[in-house]
């Protein structure tokens, strides 16, 4: 605020101090130097007053400007504070959401950690199993090589055994070249087997004596059948006698009646005395002959032969 000076003049123009009008008296005019001094003083006072006014005016303008600036800044600050407050509220909400999310993630993390522990245990178990499997595989590989070596040896031994069996079978069959085998003769108590052999030879039109029979016995078959009598095996002095008796019986069929055995009449078969292996081979040959429609299958000197018909060649099995 501007203020006016208390006094307009530095001197009192009213000469009469009592305030009452009086008649003017003649005074002596002051000297020019005194007037200059008074003027200087007045001028100085005026300058001081103007300086004070200037200061007051400047301070008032600065204050108004400062109030305006402060008001503007305060409004900006209020607006900024409101924005900051809104942002803080938003941040708080986001913080709570993040906190919830973090808690949820912690729970999930705990579950994941549990699952990881389970998976680690499972992986460790599988690793141990793999190690065991690898050890077993290595052991199997070693055993496989050993088995392959054994199989090779077994094959070799099997071939050798088969060869030995063939040789044994051949030798056994060679030992039986003089033997006759009679099948189907009923067993009788206190029977005379030599007499039965002589009766068989007589029926085949071959004359032999008891001296021509080296040995005769009943032999149990390897595969026993209920009610089937044991076969009679007779060893003769010569292969010629054996072959003639078999040839004669094939021409003239033999029965129990021809041997003087009482009871129901049954066929009696006279064959070469074959080994067990050759008997199995002969059985399979007879089955194959029927399927292949061959007419003949027979044995001679322990060997098996087949023939399809009268004009076809003879095949040795």
The answer to the question of residue 85 being in a domain is no
The reply to whether 266 and 286 lie within a common domain is: no
- Using pLDDT thresholds of 50, 70 and 90, give the confidence band for residue 65: confident
Q: Are 281 and 269 in contact (CB under 8 A)?
A: no
- % of the chain surpassing 90 pLDDT: 6
251 and 304 fall within a common domain: no
Query: Is 252 found in the same domain as 306?
Result: no
Residues 184 and 241 in one domain: yes
Q: Are residues 193 and 252 in the same domain?
A: yes
Which of 305 and 39 is assigned the larger pLDDT? 305
Residue 170 lies in a domain: no
203 and 255 housed in the same domain: yes
pLDDT tens-place string over residues 277-313: 888 888 898 888 888 888 888 888 888 888 888 888 8
Please report the pLDDT score of residue 19 as a whole number. 47
**pLDDT confidence band for 32 (50 / 70 / 90):** low
Q: What integer pLDDT is reported at residue 1 of this predicted model? A: 44
Q: Is 217 part of a structural domain of the chain? A: yes
Q: Is residue 132 part of a domain?
A: no
Say if residue 2's pLDDT is above 60: no
Mean pLDDT of 96-112: 86
Q: Same structural domain for residues 267 and 208?
A: yes
In-domain check, residue 151: no
Instruction: Give the Cβ contact number of residue 270 at 10 Å.
Output: 24
The C-alpha atoms of residue 71 and residue 154 are separated, in whole angstroms, by 114
Measure the CA–CA gap between 233 and 180, rounded to whole angstroms: 6
Based on the domain organization, do 282 and 251 belong to the same domain?
no
Mean pLDDT of 220-224: 77
At 133-160, the pLDDT tens digits run 888 888 888 888 888 888 888 888 889 8
The secondary structure of 170-232 as a DSSP string is HHHHHHTTTEEEEE-PPP-TT--HHHHHHHHHHHTT----GGGEEEEEEE--SS--TTPPPEE
* Burial of 131 (C-beta count, 10 Å sphere; 0-12/13-18/19+): exposed
Q: In this predicted structure, which of 24-28, 72-76, 78-82, 310-314 has the lowest mean pLDDT?
A: 24-28
Q: Is residue 315 part of a domain?
A: yes
- pTM of the full structure: 0.52
What residues form DSSP beta bridges with 233?
Answer: 181, 217
Burial group, residue 80, by CB count within 10 angstroms (0-12, 13-18, 19+)? exposed
What residue numbers bound the domain in which 232 lies? 178-273
Decide which of 28 and 185 is more confident. 185
Q: In this structure, are residues 281 and 297 in contact, taking their beta carbons and an 8 Å threshold?
A: no
Convert the pLDDT of each residue in 167-193 to its tens digit.
898 888 888 889 999 998 888 888 888
Q: How many domains does the chain have?
A: 2
Find all residues with CB under 8 Å of 311, minimum gap 6, and list them.
Answer: none
Tell me how far apart the alpha carbons of residues 210 and 262 are, in angstroms, rounded to a whole number.
Answer: 23
User: Do 241 and 300 have their domain in common?
Assistant: no
Query: What is the distance between the alpha carbons of residues 200 and 203, in angstroms, rounded to a whole number?
Result: 5
pLDDT-derived band at 235 (thresholds 50, 70, 90) equals: very high
Considering the domain architecture, whether residues 261 and 207 belong to the same structural domain is answered as yes
Half-sphere exposure of 314 (CA within 13 A, CB side): 8
Cα 226 from chain centre = 57
Residue corresponding to tokens 């008296």: 25
Task: Quote the mean pLDDT of the chain.
Answer: 82
In a domain, 225, yes or no: yes
- How many Cα atoms sit within 13 Å of 65 on the Cβ side? 6
pLDDT of residue 31: 55
* Distance in angstroms (rounded) separating the CA atoms of residues 14 and 20: 10
Same domain (yes/no): 258, 278: no
CATH of the domain at 230: 3.30.70.1820
Interval 27-37 mean pLDDT: 62
Question: Taking the CA of residue 207 as centre, how many other CA atoms within 13 Å lie in the half-sphere pointing to its CB?
Answer: 0
Residues 218 and 305 in one domain: no
Domain membership of residue 129 (yes or no) is: no
Domain boundary among 273, 290, 305: 273
Neighbours of 190 (CB within 10 A): 4
pLDDT at 123: 86
């Amino acid at each position: 605020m501007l203020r006016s000076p208390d006094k307009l003049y530095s001197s009192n123009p009213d000469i009469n101090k009592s305030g009452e009008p009086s008649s003017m008296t003649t005074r002596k005019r002051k000297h020019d130097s005194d007037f200059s001094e008074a003027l200087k003083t007045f001028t100085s006072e005026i300058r001081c007053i103007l300086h004070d006014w200037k200061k007051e005016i400047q301070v008032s303008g600065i204050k108004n400007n400062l109030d305006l600036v402060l008001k503007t800044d305060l409004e900006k600050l209020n607006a900024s504070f409101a924005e900051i407050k809104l942002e803080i509220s938003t941040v708080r909400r986001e913080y709570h959401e993040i906190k919830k999310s973090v808690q949820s993630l912690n729970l999930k993390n705990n579950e994941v950690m549990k699952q990881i522990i389970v998976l680690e245990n499972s992986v460790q178990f599988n690793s141990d199993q793999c190690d065991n499997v690898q050890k077993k595989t290595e052991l199997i590989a070693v055993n496989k090589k050993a088995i392959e070596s054994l199989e090779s040896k077994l094959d070799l031994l099997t071939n050798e055994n088969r060869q030995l069996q063939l040789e044994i079978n051949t030798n056994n069959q060679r030992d039986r070249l003089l033997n006759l085998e009679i099948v189907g003769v009923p067993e009788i108590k206190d029977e005379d087997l030599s007499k039965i052999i002589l009766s068989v030879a007589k029926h085949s039109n071959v004359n032999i004596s008891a001296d021509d029979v080296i040995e005769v016995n009943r032999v149990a078959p390897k595969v026993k059948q209920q009610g089937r009598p044991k076969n009679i095996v007779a060893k003769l002095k010569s292969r010629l006698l054996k072959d003639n008796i078999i040839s004669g019986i094939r021409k003239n069929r033999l029965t129990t009646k021809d041997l003087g055995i009482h009871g129901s009449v049954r066929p009696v078969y006279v064959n070469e005395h074959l080994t067990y292996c050759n008997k199995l081979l002969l059985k399979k040959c007879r089955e194959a002959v029927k399927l292949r429609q061959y007419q003949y299958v027979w044995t001679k000197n322990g060997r098996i032969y087949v023939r399809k018909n009268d004009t076809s060649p003879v095949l040795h099995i």
